[in-house]
Every structure is written in C-alpha cells, then in structure tokens.
Chain A
Amino acid sequence: MPADFQSTPFRTNADRSRNFEVGVLPYLDAAYNLARWLARDDMDAQDVVQEAMLRAFRYFDSFHGTDARVWLLAIVRNTFYSLRAKTSPVGMHESFDDDVHTVADEQPSPEARMMLATDVGSLQKALEKLPHPLREVIILRELEECSYKEIASITGQKIGTVMSRLARARERLKTELTQQPSEARRHDVQ
C-alpha cells in the first residue's frame, strides 16, 4: 500500500487547484441549486455539494470534456443519490416507472380556465412535491436552463425520456398549482 503514495496528486497541488478554481468553481451555485432542490434541505445540500466538490477535485485530472458545468452537475446528482441510498432505510426509495406515471388526462374545459398560482411559495411547494426523477429534469431545464441534450447527459437518460419526464413534471405542477375554488383541492399521491 505505501507504494502508491507516489501516485497521489499532491505534487502538482497548486496547478490543480488553480485549474479547478477557474474551470469548476464558477459552477458552485449551479451545484448547490441542484443539490438543494434534490435534498430539499440546506444542510443536506451543503453536505452533498461538499462531497461532490471533493469527488470532482479528485477526478479532475480525468475530466477532458468541454462542459465542466454538465460534468459537475452529473457528479452532484450521483453524489446525492449515493448519499441518500446510504442514509435512508430500504423501502424508502420511490420507484419511478415511466409507464405507470403516465400523463394524466386533462379535462379541457376552456370555458372554465383555471388560474395558476405562480407565486414563489406555491411554486416551491409544488416543486418539492414532485418525485425526484421529475424534479431533477424540471430544475435542470427551468432553473439551470440546460438543453435536453445536457439534461440527458447529466442524468444518463435518453433524450426521449428527458422530454417525456419534463412534460410529466409540468403537468403535475400545473395540476398542483391550479387554484380550485372549492375545498376539494386535489393532492396527487407522491
């Protein structure tokens, strides 16, 4: 084991640190934003970002791509899911089946078009209610302004999956945000 101390990256610390700062650090906000929306908790999100940044720094030498933001966001996402798998008890994990979570049939009733509650508070609540696979695509699309291709690359999914999940996410949000006059406000099962 002592033999591989030579291969540790400490000799070029200063260079690495500088490159890392220029290439990756500008995306700290993006990393935190994604982590915060996935974890729904500030301290957990900070833990995720801290761990993700350490991983990013560790693997920085092997990053030869062009888009450090996409690369970092993919690490943040993986870090979140791996930390979550470690801490939450078995059975807690939501399974997401693209076929089961089909597009809810909308009842087009143009004569009674509902108003959408679009204040930050309502949006926040509605977003946090989404299952993770839907929340991550909508956050990446709307807040990070990623293209479908970038989202596909971050989440390791096909572009078609990204597209249908995004549609589903928006439909769920719309249902959640639709202001209904009666007390019979419908809550989707999570």
Chain B
Amino acid sequence: MMCNDARLLLHAYLDDELDAAQSVAITRHMQGCTACAASYADYVQLHKAMAQPSLYQRAPDALRKQWETPKQAASPVIAKPRRGLVGLAMAAGFAGALLLVAPMWLYVLHPRGADTNLVADEAVSSHIRSMQQQHLMDVVSTDQHTVKPWFEGKLDFSPRVKDLASEGFPLIGGRLDALDGHSVAALVYKRRLHVINLYQWPSASAPSAQDITQWHGYTVIRWASSNMQYVAVSDVNEDDLRQFVLAFENDAANPPMR
C-alpha cells in the first residue's frame, strides 16, 4: 500500500469502516511507515477530543417544550376549556399540575364551539399548503397599492391591505384562497424567516375578541372587526403573532383605503 492510499484509508480504519483485508493492509503499512503511523495517532487524538460531551449541542428547553407532551398526558386532551378551570385550579392549588398535563400544541386556549375549531384547522391546513412551492402568492408585491387592486373583480368585497413593514411585518404579496366555505383574500407577510398568512372575508358578526389556538407549533388568531372576519396563521411565536394582529388592527383603525 502506498502512503497516498493510506492517507485516505486510515480514516476509514479509524471509523471501523474497512473490511478485514483492508484493515490488515493498513495496519501492515503503518507498521512500516512512521509518517502514516504518526498521522494516524493524531487523528485518534482528534477523534477522542471530538467525543467531549460539551461539543454536542442539545436542544434548548424552549424548543423541546413546543414539541413534547409531558408523560402524564398519555391521551392528549383536545380542546380543553381553560378559562374557567384556571381560577378553580389555582384555588385548589394545583395550577402547576394542570399546566403539566396540558400538551402545549393541543391546547386550545379558550372555550369554543366545534366550528371555530374547524376554521382554525382549515386555516392551519391552508397555511401549510400555501408554504408548498408555487402556492404562496398569486400577486407578488411589497406595495399595498399593487396588492389591493389585484383582488378587484376576483372577490365580492374589497379586502383591507396594509403594509406593516415599519412594524417588522413586511407585506410580500397576496392570493385568493378558500376558508370556511368563503372565497377569502389571503395576504402574505413576513416575520424574519417566517411567513404569516392573514385571511379575511366579510361577515356580519359583531366585533369579537381575539381567539387564539395553538396547533403543533402553529398559532392561529381569529377575530372580527368592521364587518370583517380575520384569521392570522403562522409558525412565529404567539407573542409575535399577537403583535402582528395589533399592528394590523391599529392600522385598520385609520380610514381604510378605498
């Protein structure tokens, strides 16, 4: 065996990836070649050094919590009403216990009817689909004056379009979508690497408070104002999405562009 071959094969030897014949050949070579033997000794030293446990980067707790169901919750609780229970639980002194048994990602924060859940599910599923290639945007523009007219004639209402770049949520485009049996306008915003989908469609229902749902790392916020129903979906954290909704609502309070 030549040094050139040995230079490559000694790594495979170190990693125990050689067959018996090759192993014999490389050990023979190293017996006769001090340079390769010295080199091998260095790599053994390096290999051992790489085994130091602090080099291994374990997942931070925050990340882990988003995905883990605590052991007690063997059967995940779906749509568990909490608002009423928390007071009760705290009175009974086991609020901590309640938090432990509630898997974050199945936790529905507020009591709701079945169809509200359905909209949240649909919204998440629509968001996921929109993330697949070519689905995200029909009109690509960071200009609200381009995005808004694009919807004209495609919907029987005029959606509220606002660029929130100054708030850290730049508008990047929009598309038509369907949700809860309606044709809806979907506006696409960015938050760093993340995408936020904001769905809106007209509804006669009275302005309502925000309704927040978590599902496997996605947050869905649903609310109604000025005869419009809004659903915001994203994998950004809940605080960011709340901030987004706040920014959008603040903006919408100004006279909407007609």
Contact assessment for B57 and A148 in the assembled complex, using a CB-CB cutoff below 8 Å: no
A142 engages B47 (CB within 8 Å) = yes
A119–B177 CA distance with the chains assembled, in angstroms:
55
Q: Does B116 contact A (CB under 8 A)?
A: no
Q: Is A87 touching B17 in the complex (CB atoms < 8 A)?
A: no
* Chain A residues positioned under 8 Å from B56 (CB to CB): 29, 33, 143
List 14 additional A-B contacts (Cβ < 8 Å) besides A2-B181, A147-B17, A148-B17. Answer: A13-B106, A18-B76, A21-B67, A50-B217, A54-B217, A54-B218, A106-B39, A110-B34, A116-B42, A118-B45, A120-B52, A141-B15, A148-B15, A167-B7
Q: Which of A1, A10, A53, A127 contacts B177 (CB 8 A)?
A: A1
A167 and B63 contacting across the interface, CB-CB below 8 Å: no
The stretch among B85-93, B120-128, B249-257 that forms the contact with chain A is: B120-128
Q: Which residues of B contact A113 (CB under 8 A)?
A: 38
The 8 A CB mask of A3-20 against B (1 = contact, 0 = none) is 011001010011001100
Say yes or no for B64: interface residue by CB 8 A criterion. Answer: yes
Residue tally, chain A, CB below 8 Å to B: 58
| A residues less than 8 Å from B57 (CB atoms) | 32-33, 36-37, 45
Whether A42 pairs with B193 at a CB distance below 8 angstroms is no
Query: What bracket does the count of chain B residues touching chain A fall in?
Result: 35 or more
The reply to whether the CB of B235 lies closer than 8 angstroms to some CB of chain A is yes
| B216 interfacial by beta-carbon distance below 8 Å | yes
Judging by beta carbons under 8 Å apart, are B60 and A87 in contact? no
* Given known A-B contacts A1-B177, A54-B217, A174-B42, A29 and B15 have beta carbons under 8 A apart: no
- Contact status of A29 and B59, CB under 8 A, knowing A50-B235, A123-B50: yes
- Give Cα A138–Cα B128 distance, bound, in whole angstroms: 34
Q: Which residues of B are found within 8 Å of A50, using beta-carbon distances?
A: 63, 66, 217, 235
Q: Tell me which residues across on chain A come within 8 A of B59, comparing CB atoms.
A: 28-29, 31-32, 49
Q: Which residues of A contact B216 (CB under 8 A)?
A: 17, 54, 57
Q: Which residues of A contact B58 (CB under 8 A)?
A: 29, 32-33
Report the Cα distance A110→B122, complex, angstroms.
Answer: 68
Cα distance, A83 to B235, chains bound together (Å):
15
Q: Mark B16-43, 1 if CB is under 8 A from A, else 0.
A: 0100000000000000001100110011
Contact pattern, A 44-82, Cβ under 8 Å of B = 1, otherwise 0: 011101110110011000000000000000000000000
With contact pairs A32-B60, A116-B46 given, residues A25 and B193 touching in the complex (Cβ less than 8 Å): no
Q: Is B178 an interface residue (CB 8 A)?
A: yes
B114 interface residue per 8 A CB criterion: no
**Is B15 within 8 A of A123, CB to CB?**
no
